[in-house]
Amino acid sequence: MSRMRTCGSVKIQLIKKSREAALSAVQIFNNPNILFKSETYIVLMIIAWTYLLHAYFKDKHIDYRYIDKNKSMGKRKFYQVRDGDYLYWDLSKCLNFEQCPLSNDCKNNLKFLIGLRNKIEHKMAGELDDALSARFQACCLNYNKYITEIFGEKYAIDKYLSFSLQFSKLNKEQRELIEDYKLPETIETYIKTFDAGLTEEEFNSEEYATRYLFVPKTANRPGQADRVIEFVKEDSELAVGLNKEYVLIKEAEKTKYLAGQIVKLMKEKGFSKFSMHKHTELWKKCDAKNPKYGNGGLVAGKHWYWYKKWVDFVEKHCNENKEIYC
């Protein structure tokens, strides 16, 4: 009985620590006086998710301590640090555990943030706040979703949070500054490489990155403009106009593929003889890297990425030449 109480007590403490870390992350990110926002948010949210999954494993009686393979000698022995405390799973280990309760898209979001943290902890990252806010937003919404689903409504944190207000709207010069801002080359390369490894469905998932489109609204009658966010019907005239803008935004976020990924995709579709050499021959023959065709482009001046348009062309080519590639 005492052991059950101890287990329950540890779980509650982990949940509390998790919520405190998540709330601190969002409050710091929304604080206009703090400049080190993104870096702090990422670190605190990784801590929050780690505690949350530890609480889940504790509740399911899953031992989340690292095993010391050097001292096991046939009997399981857990790794201990110098002060004698056990070493518990980090977030990456939790995400890769087969009984992890999170969706694949949520895992992708967290794996992206873990990799980004590893990049920025040794180098200056520049202004990440605007460039990656969609992924930060998704991380926040995912956290509230899963802590509620796993442990109940009483642990939800959305009631403590509100939309961050600002003193002025963006003028033309400010918008251009944000649009033209260039991330450090190492960070940009990391982002492009990670995104290129996702399917189009994974990239567009709201659990990976949550994107909103806001437009100023002119109210026609009292009470219409009392909220910052207005929801409109899908078939309304306003929605049609917004959808056109959204398509343009979505087009700018094309999924990118490395050549090796295209070769792998073709092999998975049954074209076992399609190789990197064959792919190189094909794009050279078609002059596919010519900018006028819009098949892909260089990222950070180093790596060439192909768009879905070229992947579809390659698949069509393979289907038309099955006797060569199958």
Q: Among 9-18, 156-165, 265-274, 288-297, where is mean pLDDT lowest? A: 156-165
3-state helix/strand/coil string of 237-279? HHHHHHHHHHHHHHHCCCCEECHHHHHHHHHHCCCCCCCHHHH
Using pLDDT thresholds of 50, 70 and 90, give the confidence band for residue 78.
low
Q: Among 28-37, 111-120, 166-175, 195-204, where is mean pLDDT lowest? A: 166-175
Cβ 139 vs Cβ 45: under 8 Å: yes
Candidates 227, 223, 314; CA nearest to 264 is: 314
Cβ atoms within 10 Å, residue 301: 8
What pLDDT is recorded for position 232? 58
Q: Specify which residues 86 forms β-bridges with.
A: 80
Between 314 and 3, the higher pLDDT residue: 314
What pLDDT is recorded for position 290? 85
pLDDT > 90 in the chain, percent: 35
What pLDDT is recorded for position 291? 77
Mean of pLDDT values over 250-273:
82
pLDDT at 238 over 70: no
Mean of pLDDT values over 87-113:
93
Domain boundary assignment for the chain:
2-157+168-194, 256-325
Whether the model pTM is above 0.75: no
Q: Specify which residues 78 forms β-bridges with.
A: 67
What pLDDT is recorded for position 96? 94
pLDDT, tens digit (0-9, with 9 covering 90-100), for 158-200: 877 665 655 555 555 545 544 445 567 777 788 888 888 888 8
Supply the angle between the helices 104-120 and 133-151 in degrees, to the nearest 10.
Answer: 130
Long-range contacts of residues 234-239, Cβ cutoff 8 Å, at least 24 apart: none
3-state helix/strand/coil string of 140-160? HHHHHHHHHHHHCHHHCCHHH
What pLDDT is recorded for position 15? 93
- In the chain, what's the furthest Cα-to-Cα distance? 77
Instruction: Give the C-alpha separation, 21 to 41, whole Å.
Output: 9
